[in-house]
Amino acid sequence: MEEILAMLSELNSSVDFAAAENIMSSRLLDSIDIIELVSKLEDAFDIEIGMEYMDKENFESAQAIWEMVQEIQEG
């Protein structure tokens, strides 16, 4: 989880992502940021984030991102 928070902070250091609940809805990250985040997640956790996971709800909070990563790893 800490690694995800660090990645998010690199993308936008002005946001407290530990508390943010509506990252996508509030447009705290743009589409380019999400593409970069997906790449970082794939590299850091040795996973592949398929199109079935490219849903706004999976990126609304650090917790949602962490749960998505865990689900992919378990898959």
Tens digits of per-residue pLDDT, 33-75? 999 999 999 999 999 999 999 999 999 999 999 999 999 999 8
Angle at 2 between CA 51 and CA 59, to 5 degrees: 30
pLDDT of residue 38: 98
What lies within 8 Å, CB to CB, of 11 at 6+ separation is: 29, 33, 36, 37
Q: Where are the domains of the chain?
A: 1-8+30-75
> How many CA atoms does the CB half-sphere of 51 hold within 13 Å?
0
Instruction: Quickly state the pLDDT bin for 30 (edges 50, 70, 90).
Output: very high
- Give the model confidence (pLDDT) of 9-28 as tens digits: 999 999 999 999 999 999 99
